Amino acid sequence: MKKQKTDIKALISQMTIDEKIGQLIQLNANFFADSSADITGPWEKLGIDKEALKTIGSTLNFHGADEMVAIQKKHLEEDRNKIPMLFMMDVIHGYRTIYPIPLAMGASFDPETVTECSKMAAREASAGGIQVTFTPMVDYVRDARWGRVMETCGEDPYLNSVMGATQVKAFQGDDLSDRDNLATCVKHFAAYGGAEAGRDYNTVEISERLLREYYLPAYKACIDAGVTMLMPSFNTLNGVPSIANKWLMKKVLKDEWGFEGVVISDYNAVGELLKHGMTDSTKDAAEMSFNCGCDIEMMSITYYLHLKELIAEGKVSEKAIDEAVERILTLKDALGLFEDPTRGASSEKEAAVCLTPEHRDISRRAAEACAVLLKNDGVLPFSESTKKIALIGPFADSKEIKGFWACCGKDDECVSVYEGIKALLPDAEITVARGCSAQWNELDKDGFDEAVAAAKNADAVILCLGEPQKYSGEGNSRADIGLPGVQNELAALCLEANKNTAALVFSGRPLTLCELDAACPAILEMWFPGSEGGSAAANLLFGKVNPSGKVSMSFPKAVGQCPIYYNHPSTGRPKRKPEDVHQPYASNYIGCGNLPLYPFGHGLSYTEFTYESMELDTHELTKDGKITVKVTVKNTGDRAGKEVVQLYIHDLYASAVRPIQQLVAFEKISLSAGETKTVTFEISEPMLRFWDAECKHISEAGDFDLFVGYADHPYIKDTFKLI
Ligand code: NOJ
């Protein structure tokens, strides 16, 4: 973080203890203005004194530049020390121009797309008065029932780390005081995604080894990338809520990782220590959280009520309070707030910067890069000269496709599939038949006849299916992750009527799609694609753009397979052939088997890629050496396309059981028809380290398998030895 224009130590020395505590409190904007913004957590009257409001250091959930400027102006008039407030919000996948949800961004396997979208979001959000975004969310996930899988980049620690670090760098840029940049806050530390049974806010019990190997690396990667803030998670981690978890917050975060940024609680998480049953007193909650390193308390006021008393009793040190305030003021200074408290935000700038054609273009290209062609029996792409098109299903002409938690994005600013196709093929005759609802409890089939008639009468049918956007995101877990309502029945009838059919799926998680997969010749996963979802869908369906996304989280065959993840450890009783449905006394689900329907890394294209060779310059790796791996790929089809070259290893023998496959590198490349390219990867000893039974991060000499391909699908295999 660049600094320092303001003499922060001198400023702190003139602050009263109440003023210092004010910096450690974050309240919703409706405490300071008549705000129209969404409240992102439970709302309770807190009972904070009007005078104290003048000292509050930061706010969240305000709406737009005008509101921000008014709050800041009033605050600076009232605050004796003239310390600007910090304005924070959740800019998760765009501010006004919405790009695909993070799980989709993971599926792009393309850090460049992530960079471009994050920079766009930072520009727009900054014009709207936001200074810090509660991004990136890098919780590692294995269970699609959890609604917040939509906010992560998926089930692989390495992919999640790369994408998290990329977001930090793109949002923050080189200089935080540049008005186009935002500070970032990595969350939710730690292992929020490990919630039992995928139910949000639920308990997390995992071993330290598992935690360190799968769950922690992405948070660490964001810290190494320079993230300025960190948010502990709501959940208990091995019995203790993160915010009061000394092992996590002190030993790992501060002592081992040396995190020097600002720690902010999640919404009312300090107050929730009482509901967890850690204590019956808000005073204890304040003491536990502050002494665990939580600098700012969001939307509960235990610090306001008790810190002064805790200092007087010697339970909290004033030096620690000063240090916390210093961290916060240093961030304000790095953002340039003391000279530039509104950073040029205005409604005029907001109007000029947001939703421009350039930004819509970025969003559309991102949606195209994220879509995954799950299945294609040759139906796609449809010809651009198709005359009669039937668009069937609840998402046929729906604008509710931007995805949950889209900041200032509006549904009516999204391009629906119908609008996208109409714009691409103005002369085609398009019939829209909704057919049924996407809600789980709406089973009405009144629209079936119209839909089947439209399917019969069409040259090409596009089924537009999925789950409502509010089925994923915070607090929205599902016990059944199939297509809700009667959508499968609708699809079956339309497919009987017309086989020239492809399905688009809109979802915030991998759904169980076996029925659709069995019946439908082509399936394109759109996720929640954002403002330009319909334009992207049209370009992909009619072959203007070649799909290139890859599955970022396994699509289970049945919800009972959850948690399911490709990089699982070996079992002592594996099946002879993973695809077998039954084998007695083997680790297996009868009937369904263990494999997902669509594994991690899978994704088809309209062209063919042939992996011609994988060459290693040596098969022996020394501790300080490297192996150079050259993978040659040819586009053997007849159109240009992009391929994600993925490199996996398997450590064959180790003192702690290793995953059967593990992504260690990837690169997305473009190949024109007939073109051949060679991708170069390097393998070095640190990539082979793991957490052993004593939780030491080590590597062990021995044999490794290496392959290019995707989960459970090696194209070319080789081996090497660590000596
Ligand atoms: C609760 C969520 O868990 C967190 O991700 C978010 O940043 C805060 N609310 C603020 O909206």
State the pLDDT at residue 50: 85
pLDDT surpasses 90 at 5? no
Q: How far apart are the C-alpha atoms of 615 and 248, rounded to whole Å?
A: 42
Residue the block writes with tokens 């000063």? 322
Among 32-41, 393-402, 425-434, 589-598, name the one with the lowest average pLDDT: 32-41
What are the tens digits of pLDDT across the range 431-462? 999 999 999 999 999 999 999 999 999 999 99
**Is residue 499 classed as helix, strand or coil in its secondary structure?**
coil
Q: Please report which confidence band the pLDDT of residue 49 belongs to, taking 50, 70 and 90 as the band edges.
A: confident
Give the residue, out of 40, 146, 148, 298, with the most ligand 1 atoms within 8 A of its beta carbon, to mutate for a pocket test. Answer: 40
Cα 112 to Cα 44, 106, 327, 348, 416, distances in angstroms: 42, 12, 31, 29, 26
Distance 687 CA to ligand 1 centre (A): 33
- Nearest to residue 428, comparing CAs of 541, 310, 273? 541
Chain-centre distance of CA 599, in angstroms?
18
Residue 411: DSSP 8-state = G
Our CA dihedral for 41, 45, 48, 53, rounded to 10 degrees, sits at: 60
Q: Whose CA is nearest to atom 1 of ligand 1?
A: 267
Distance 145 CA to ligand 1 centre (A): 19
Average pLDDT score over residue span 558-563: 98
State the pLDDT at residue 47: 82
**Structure tokens of 425?**
């093929």
Q: How far apart are the C-alpha atoms of 266 and 576, rounded to whole Å?
A: 46
Q: Whose CA is nearest to atom 9 of ligand 1?
A: 267
- Nearest to residue 22, comparing CAs of 61, 98, 80? 80
Q: Whose CA is nearest to atom 4 of ligand 1?
A: 266
Distance 431 CA to ligand 1 centre (A): 41
Give the residue, out of 30, 200, 266, 270, with the most ligand 1 atoms within 8 A of its beta carbon, to mutate for a pocket test. Answer: 266
Report domain extents, the chain: 362-561, 609-722
| Single-letter amino acid code for the residue at 65 | A
What are the tens digits of pLDDT across the range 108-153? 999 999 999 999 999 999 999 999 999 999 999 999 999 999 999 9
Ligand 1 nearest-atom number relative to CA 40: 11
- Nearest to residue 164, comparing CAs of 141, 146, 139? 139
**Structure tokens of 569?**
């450890």
Q: How far apart are the C-alpha atoms of 553 and 370, rounded to whole Å?
A: 13
Distance 40 CA to ligand 1 centre (A): 7
**Strand 690-691 to strand 697-698: parallel, antiparallel, or no bridges (unpaired)?**
antiparallel
Ligand 1 nearest-atom number relative to CA 187: 5
Other C-beta atoms closer than 10 Å to the C-beta of 446 total 8
Q: How far apart are the C-alpha atoms of 648 and 115, rounded to whole Å?
A: 25
Q: Whose CA is nearest to atom 7 of ligand 1?
A: 134
Ligand 1 nearest-atom number relative to CA 134: 7
Give the residue, out of 134, 146, 300, with the most ligand 1 atoms within 8 A of its beta carbon, to mutate for a pocket test. Answer: 134
Which residues approach ligand 1 with their CB closer than 6 A?
Answer: 40-41, 60, 90, 134, 187, 266-267, 474
**Is residue 431 classed as helix, strand or coil in its secondary structure?**
strand
* CATH architecture, domain 609-722: Sandwich (2.60)
Residue 604: DSSP 8-state = B
Cβ pair 668, 692 in contact under 8 A: no
What are the tens digits of pLDDT across the range 491-500? 999 999 999 9
pTM above 0.95, yes or no: yes
Residue the block writes with tokens 């949950």? 404
State the pLDDT at residue 33: 87
State the pLDDT at residue 43: 56
Cβ pair 186, 513 in contact under 8 A: no
Average pLDDT score over residue span 5-22: 95
Distance 271 CA to ligand 1 centre (A): 15
Active site residues: 266
- Nearest to residue 474, comparing CAs of 562, 406, 405? 405
- Nearest to residue 108, comparing CAs of 153, 144, 67, 155? 153
pLDDT surpasses 60 at 3? no
What are the tens digits of pLDDT across the range 345-379? 999 999 999 999 999 999 999 999 999 999 999 99
Classify residue 354 as exposed, middle or buried by CB count within 10 Å of its CB (0-12, 13-18, 19+): buried
| Single-letter amino acid code for the residue at 719 | T
Question: Top-level CATH class of 362-561?
Answer: alpha beta
Partners of 199 in beta bridges: none
3-state helix, strand, coil in the chain (%, to 5): 35, 20, 45
Average pLDDT score over residue span 33-51: 73
Distance 593 CA to ligand 1 centre (A): 37
Distance 251 CA to ligand 1 centre (A): 24
Q: Whose CA is nearest to atom 3 of ligand 1?
A: 266
Phi/psi of residue 471, each to 5°? -85, -10
Give the residue, out of 189, 474, 476, 477, with the most ligand 1 atoms within 8 A of its beta carbon, to mutate for a pocket test. Answer: 474
Q: How far apart are the C-alpha atoms of 194 and 86, rounded to whole Å?
A: 31
Q: Is 702 left (phi over 0), alpha (psi -120 to 50) or beta?
A: left
State the pLDDT at residue 580: 77
CA contacts within 13 A on the Cβ side of 387: 1
State the pLDDT at residue 42: 60
- Nearest to residue 251, comparing CAs of 282, 214, 222, 208? 208
Cβ pair 270, 300 in contact under 8 A: yes
Ligand 1 nearest-atom number relative to CA 137: 5
Other C-beta atoms closer than 10 Å to the C-beta of 443 total 12
Distance 267 CA to ligand 1 centre (A): 6
Distance 298 CA to ligand 1 centre (A): 9
Mean of all residue pLDDT scores within the chain: 96
Cα-based angle 193, 194, 196 (whole degrees, multiple of 5): 120
Average pLDDT score over residue span 242-256: 98
Q: How far apart are the C-alpha atoms of 546 and 371, rounded to whole Å?
A: 10
**Structure tokens of 288?**
């536990």
My answer on whether omega of the bond before 518 falls inside 30° of 0, hence cis, is no
State the pLDDT at residue 39: 67
Ligand 1 nearest-atom number relative to CA 188: 5
Give the residue, out of 90, 92, 135, 405, with the most ligand 1 atoms within 8 A of its beta carbon, to mutate for a pocket test. Answer: 90
What are the tens digits of pLDDT across the range 605-655? 999 999 999 999 999 999 999 999 999 999 999 999 999 999 999 999 999
Ligand 1 nearest-atom number relative to CA 192: 3
How much of the chain exceeds pLDDT 90, in percent? 94
pLDDT surpasses 80 at 686? yes
Give the residue, out of 27, 91, 135, 187, with the most ligand 1 atoms within 8 A of its beta carbon, to mutate for a pocket test. Answer: 187
**Structure tokens of 596?**
């997902």
Classify residue 707 as exposed, middle or buried by CB count within 10 Å of its CB (0-12, 13-18, 19+): buried
- Nearest to residue 705, comparing CAs of 665, 657, 666, 660? 660
pLDDT surpasses 80 at 40? no
Distance 234 CA to ligand 1 centre (A): 10
State the pLDDT at residue 375: 98
Distance 242 CA to ligand 1 centre (A): 15
Q: How far apart are the C-alpha atoms of 412 and 97, rounded to whole Å?
A: 12
Other C-beta atoms closer than 10 Å to the C-beta of 243 total 30
Distance 62 CA to ligand 1 centre (A): 14
pLDDT surpasses 70 at 64? yes
Q: How far apart are the C-alpha atoms of 55 and 38, rounded to whole Å?
A: 24
Q: How far apart are the C-alpha atoms of 629 and 635, rounded to whole Å?
A: 20
| Single-letter amino acid code for the residue at 518 | A
Residue 665: DSSP 8-state = E
Phi/psi of residue 303, each to 5°? -65, -45
**Strand 86-89 to strand 132-133: parallel, antiparallel, or no bridges (unpaired)?**
parallel
Distance 128 CA to ligand 1 centre (A): 19
Distance 266 CA to ligand 1 centre (A): 6
Residue the block writes with tokens 């790992």? 252
State the pLDDT at residue 41: 64
State the pLDDT at residue 6: 86
Q: Whose CA is nearest to atom 11 of ligand 1?
A: 40
Average pLDDT score over residue span 568-574: 93
Classify residue 465 as exposed, middle or buried by CB count within 10 Å of its CB (0-12, 13-18, 19+): buried
Our CA dihedral for 515, 520, 524, 529, rounded to 10 degrees, sits at: -60
